[in-house]
Structure 1
Amino acid sequence: MKKVIIAGCGSAGKLVLAEIKKAGAQDYSVLCFLDDDPSKLGSEYLGIAVRGNISDAARLAKGLGADEIIIAIPSAKGRDIRRIIGECTVEKVGLKILPSLFEIIRGNVQFGQIRPVKAQDLLGRKIASFDPAEVGEIFRGKRVVVTGGAGSIGTELARTISKARPAELYLLDIDENGLYFNLVDLRRESPNAKVEAVVANIRERGRIFRIFKSIKPDIIFHAAASKQVPIVEQNVAEGVKNNIFGTKNVLDAAIANNAERFVFISTDKAVSPSSIMGSTKRVAEWICQDTLSGKPSTKIFIARFGNVFGSKGSVIPLFIKQIEEKREITVTDRKMTRYFMSIEEAVALLLRVCSFDKSGTYFFDMGEQISIYDLGVELIKLYGLIPGIDVQIVETGLRPGEKISEALITKNERQTPTSVGNIMEIISGKGCKDEAICECNKIGQRLREQGELEIAAKLEEITGRLLREGITSIHT
């Protein structure tokens, strides 16, 4: 029989205990509750006492011979979950966690749904509440294009939108293998949805225009981009072609074909950019804002957010691979912090933005920045290993273009709330009309003639000068 301790004696913890007793789970014996509320200490529920607070987890687990701790604290922050993991690692106690806050609210918790703690749980974020039916109407009967359809965000967008009964859903990407596997999954999950793959390079303006003329899309999510900071630093021209001119191609094609909505997926690295990648995304934001000044019939939304936890090419899959192979994990700087959100939450908020009536620039509430070093430490513990003994952590130094921390708005921007609590609208400072666009067009004309260093210098000169002058948008 497995002996368990329930961390949390609130409504969620009580539901877990009741479910265990109701299900007659003969393989489990609940030893006690843990709770940080001092008024609950010594109290009982269904014959099970609150024996201590969360910091007593390791001591009680050892003293009572617990095999497992179930975390039943839906309001727990990431640092609380990381603390529990830290307490339990020493005693090699197993950890489980409730599926989600919304399952608890609906009274839907079943013992079989309680699962092992995952890397994503280290965030401890309150995932944005999202009912697809709330925004599903804007996709029903519409032709939707997702660029970057083989990437992490594009894949999750497609999975969610396919369930909203669009007339047609097109995944556009240069990665044919990624598109193929996504199609297989989507056709299995949503057999009635009409989903097609389009192999295309967003840099090829003529091809994009021909595709959009044929498809006549109503809604476009532009997720395709060059995202890896160190790679773009070494391949400046490619980053410029993809992130600046690729974005312009897709946006212009959308407007030329009278699309209803266009969502550009930006990044916190576009805020006071220190990297080529961030600079290209900043200029792409400006292109979208400049297009808005022409008052097109197409609604244009710019969505700015931080790192997506577990997405392709992010630090988390790298850490996990290094830990599973018992290799040292590498961090560039011990002080580095980043904003994180889950793929599911990012997509839920993108769909919300797409449903807004007002064009504009929006950013997502990312909560607190998380230490990359601490995240590595807690991931090692999550695997039942000891940092510094089983797995070493090595600092490698900041790479070109990297920042110690990120921001979501500049000092010359201000935020205003929207009807959705997790989403804020960005109100920009003064504009400069077409100056930056004109400068970038000059870069485009010289891409074949200029070397990487010349292009990088020009791009940094444009974004740096305009931001120093307090210019945060192109349109006035």
Structure 2
Amino acid sequence: MHSVARTGEIGTALERRLSGCVDFAVGLAAGSIAWPRRIKRLAVMTLDLCLIALAVWVAFSLRLGEFHTPGTGFAILTVAMTGLWFPIALRRGTYRSIFRFAGRGAIVSLLVSTILVTLPLIAGFMLVAHDGIPRTLAILAPLVFFMAVTLSRIVGRYVMVDLLSARSGDVNIKRVVIYGAGATGQRLAASLAAEAGMRVVGFVDDDPAKDGHFLDGARVHHSSQTSALVERLGVTDIVIAITAISSARRKHIIAALEPMSVNVQTLPPMREVIDGRISAATLRPVAIEDLLGRAVVPEHGDLLSREITGKLVMVTGAGGSIGSEICRQILAQRPAALVLVEANEFALFSIGCELEAGLATLDPGSRPTLYQRLADVSLPGAVERLFAEFTPYAIFHAAAYKHVPLVEENVLEAVRNNVLATRLMADAAQRHGVRRFVLISTDKAVRPPNVMGASKRLCEVVLQDLSRRCGAATFAIVRFGNVLGSSGSVVPTFQRQIEAGGPVTVTDREVTRYFMTIFEAAQLVIQAGAMARGGEIFLLDMGEPVRIWDLAHSMVRLSGLSVRDASNPAGDIAIIESGLRPGEKLFEELLIDAAAAETEHPRIMQGADSAPPAAMVAQVLSQIETAIARDDVGACKRALRSVAPSLRLSAQEKVVRSRPYSRPMVKRLESGSVRKAEQRIFPAPSQQPTQA
């Protein structure tokens, strides 16, 4: 009994000492994190120097069968190994990857460096005899050193990553489950293990055969157990680590994870996974394109390159969301030259720098020429200067004002920029022998209640009218809905509101919109332009409309937060209705009065919306020019209504006056605030007005 108690006391004392050693190691590791990188590297090199001496002593002892007393032979071999190891290790970058990031790659690097050290030792000590140094030590000493240095990296990583994280007491540590127990998931887990603020607590996988297995110490569960796993382990994040997966399957997985109120993230694009660049920094939140589940449609035949390769192409609005992506994809098809036309200096500078950086990587002999021109294409002089310098084969006209509420407040400037610029560019294209002219339109041009949509519908009519005349130019219109990531997209607005803690604002819970990615939209625009025969309105397949209210809920939940509402007053983020903005519709359409016909591309359809007679088009354009010259908003909107009867007019705007009606005057007070004056800029005439 006494011996048992004595043994227990010894065990307790030993445990206390070991715990103290561990605490000391953790404290040392915590302090070393803040050391400069060169100090860390010097510390590891000092450790390796000690391990070389230890390895030589152990090798001598094993070879001689007794504890060796260091002598001349010990010193010679130690100096030889040291002189070989450090130049080789430094040359191979062995010290670039140490403790916290030590994984399979680091161990392989150590092994190769050790082999390179062993070869000269064999030549110097095994083939040539040395007094006091057994020949076998040329192999035995490097082998012991490799085991010692590898063990040091493993222990160091365990202390620096696992123990330090476990004892940090940080309540903000993310508990991560990886969806996908394959090679990619295993590589991701190894990378996340080096992150002090993240801990992989398990895997889930759709394969029942993997259920119950362990991967790098974490258990694999079947995907049907995900919800219970989240509750039991307090999971905060789920990372989808499946790369070879269809868009529909990804959408299904995300939909299943959405109700769990965890932060759902995905891996970067496949090319980065192939390159091995997987880390916590490369993970991205689930994007709306993942929610849409749209399958990527490859290029159809030669439609992308047919009207681009080897030709001079011009893009107006080149600095905008759509315009810039069209430029990127045009350059990928190797045109002879690309002319970027943009009125905004910074936007032109940004896209120009990006494209020039890409061109710099190409062979000079096949590199397209890039031209950048600051120009407002709503000004006749600017347009004439462009065509005096260039005669493009194809023009993609993306320059336009597209923000509905802003256009409602700036009617004359928006109509000038949208309508008159389109007419000027199209007329010049007809006169200067341009072969293809593609107008970027919008689904808001269909039965538009707002000025933006009505102006874009008139742009379509202008091109349809020009296509009825004789000329070399082939005009085409491409109509589509919202693109993800554009300057006016609701998605980045929701993301900013969620990051700020809410509330997320939706204009109306019944609002629906079509969505597609900028990349897909630009690709389809180019291909639609190649199919044009003259005057067609092409409609891009936008898929199913998305209810914005549901989208806001999904984005909140997939951020790992909960929606605060009447059923959950303690939720994180509130979603509120702000009311429809001026000119906004509940839903958008792509067709006015006709069914769409199929084309040779599965994602591009052709509408049959007709244009009014040429005389009427000319009259409307003349009325708009006069209204802009007179600063008459009412007359401008009445002219637009001739081609867009659904355009809403106020009571004042419906009235035809002898003097123009604009906006109420705004007076600035001395305090700096503003108020509307009671009088108009142009007082109403004394005679009785007539109704439009």
Normalized against structure 1, the TM-score is what? 0.83
Aligned partner letter, 1:426: G
Q: Output the amino acid matched with 1:31.
A: F
Indicate the SS of the match to 2:531. coil
Structure 2 vs 1, CA of residues 451 and 23 (structure 1 numbering), >3 Å: closer, same or farther? closer
Q: CA deviation at 1:333?
A: 0.7
| 1:316 alignment partner, SS class | helix
Question: Once the 2 structures are TM-superposed, how far is the Cα of residue 285 of structure 1 from its aligned partner?
Answer: 0.4
Q: Deviations over 1:369-399 (max 9, x none)?
A: 1111222222222332222232222211111
| Contact 2:509–2:577 (Cα < 8 Å) also in 1 | yes
Aligned counterpart in structure 2 of residue 176 of structure 1, from 345, 354, 357:
345
The answer on 1:112 being equivalent to 2:278 is: yes
Aligned-pair CA distance for 1:197: 1.4
In 1: Cα distance, 2:646 partner to 2:355 partner: 45
Structure 2 counterpart of 1:268, from 423, 440, 443: 443
Once structures 1 and 2 are overlaid, which stretch shifts more, 426-435 or 205-214? Answer: 426-435
1:413 aligns with 2:594: yes
Q: Is the 8 A contact 1:61 1:93 kept in 2?
A: no
Please state whether the residue corresponding to 1:463 is helix, strand or coil.
coil
Counterpart pick for 1:228 among 398, 403, 417: 403
Q: Pairwise mapping of residues 6-85 of structure 1 onto structure 2 (< 5 A)? A: 6=179, 17-20=182-185, 31-34=203-206, 42-44=208-210, 51-53=222-224, 57-63=226-232, 68-70=238-240, 72=242, 73-76=245-248, 80=252, 83-85=255-257
d(CA) in 2 for partners of 1:29, 1:386: 22
Question: 1:96 matched to which residue of 2?
Answer: 266
Give the structure, 1 or 2, with the largest relative contact order (CA under 8 Å, sep 6 or more).
Answer: 1
**RMSD (CA atoms):** 3.2
Partner of residue 193, structure 1: 368
Change in CA separation of 1:23 and 1:203 when aligned onto 2, cut-off 3 Å: closer
Taking the aligned partners of 2:573 and 2:210, their CA distance within structure 1 comes to 41
- CA change 1:246–1:323 in 2 (3 A) is same
Structure 1 residues 239-258: aligned runs within 5 Å: 239-258=414-433
Distance 1:372 1:81, change over 3 A: farther
CA contact (8 A) 1:229 1:402 kept: yes
Q: Closer, same or farther in 2 for the Cα pair 1:65/1:317, shift >3 Å?
A: closer
CA distance in 2, matches of 1:18, 1:79: 22
Give 1:425's aligned residue: 606
Unaligned 5+ residue runs, structure 2? Answer: 1-161, 163-174, 194-199, 215-219, 361-366, 565-570, 648-692
Instruction: Note if 1:387 corresponds to 2:563.
Output: yes
CA drift of 1:3 comes to 6.2
> Structure 2 counterpart of 1:403, which letter?
K
Alpha-carbon shift at residue 23 of structure 1 (Å): 9.6
CA distance in 2, matches of 1:307, 1:93: 26
* Residue aligning to 2:454: 279
Q: Does 1:442 align with 2:623?
A: yes
CA distance in 2, matches of 1:318, 1:196: 33
- Spell out, residue by residue over 1:20-44, the C-alpha distance to the aligned partner (whole angstroms, 9 max, x if none): 569995857863324xxxxx7x455
More helix by share: 2
Aligned length: 443
* Aligned match for 1:202, one of 353, 366, 377: 377
Contact 2:478 2:525 in 1 (8 A): yes
| Inter-partner Cα distance in structure 2 for 1:22 and 1:446 | 65
2:303 and 2:531 in contact (8 A); partners too:
no
How much does 1:329 deviate? 2.1
SS at 1:198 equivalent: strand
Q: Deviation string for 1:59-89 (max 9, x for gaps)?
A: 2333466653416442327864652442332
Cα drift, residue 225 of structure 1: 0.3
Alpha-carbon separation, structure 1, partners of 2:506 and 2:263: 27
* 1:401 maps to which of 583, 588, 591: 583
Q: What is the percentage of aligned positions where both structures have the same residue?
A: 33
Alignment counterpart, residue 370 of structure 1, candidates 521, 546, 549: 546
Which has the larger displacement, 255-264 or 155-164? 155-164
Q: Is the 8 A contact 1:235 1:452 kept in 2?
A: no
Q: Is the 8 A contact 1:77 1:125 kept in 2?
A: no
1:470 match: none
Q: Name the CA distance, whole Å, in 1 between partners of 2:456 and 2:408.
A: 13
Q: Structure 1 residues 110, 427: CA separation in 2 closer, same or farther (over 3 Å shift)? A: farther
The CA distance in 2 between the partners of 1:97 and 1:74, in whole Å, is 14
Call closer, same or farther: CA 1:138–1:45 in 2, change over 3 Å.
Answer: farther
Aligned-pair CA distance for 1:224 = 0.4
Amino acid at match of 2:548: I
Q: 1:362 aligns to what SS in structure 2? A: strand
Q: Which amino acid aligns with 1:211?
A: L
Contact 2:538 2:605 in 1 (8 A): yes
Alpha-carbon separation, structure 2, partners of 1:109 and 1:59: 35
Q: Which moved more, 1:120-129 or 1:151-160?
A: 120-129
**Hey, what's the Cα distance between the residues in 1 that align with 2:646 and 2:205?**
58
> CA deviation digits over 1:214-233, x for unaligned, max 9?
11111111000010111111
1:95 aligned counterpart, secondary structure: strand
Inter-partner Cα distance in structure 1 for 2:494 and 2:423? 35
- Residue aligned with 1:366, SS: coil
Shift of 1:117: 3.2
Q: SS in structure 2 opposite 1:355?
A: helix
Write the letter of the residue equivalent to 1:264: L
How many Å apart are 1:97 and its aligned residue? Answer: 4.8
Tell me, what secondary structure is at the counterpart of 1:414?
Answer: coil
> Structure 2 residue aligned with 1:123, among 263, 287, 292?
292
Q: State the secondary structure of the residue aligned to 1:112.
A: coil
Give the distance between the partners of 2:176 and 2:189, measured in 1 at CA.
Answer: 15
Q: In 2 relative to 1, CA 81–332 (structure 1 residues): closer, same or farther, beyond 3 Å? A: farther
CA contact (8 A) 2:185 2:241 kept: no
For structure 1, list consecutive stretches of 5 or more residues without a partner in the other structure: 7-12, 35-39, 467-476
- 2:211 and 2:222 in contact (8 A); partners too: no
Contact 2:465 2:614 in 1 (8 A): yes
Number of the residue aligned with 1:146 = 315
**Distance across 2 between alignment mates of 1:353 and 1:372:** 28
Residue 63 to residue 212, structure 1, CA distance change in 2 (3 Å)? same
Deviation at 1:352, TM superposition (A): 1.0
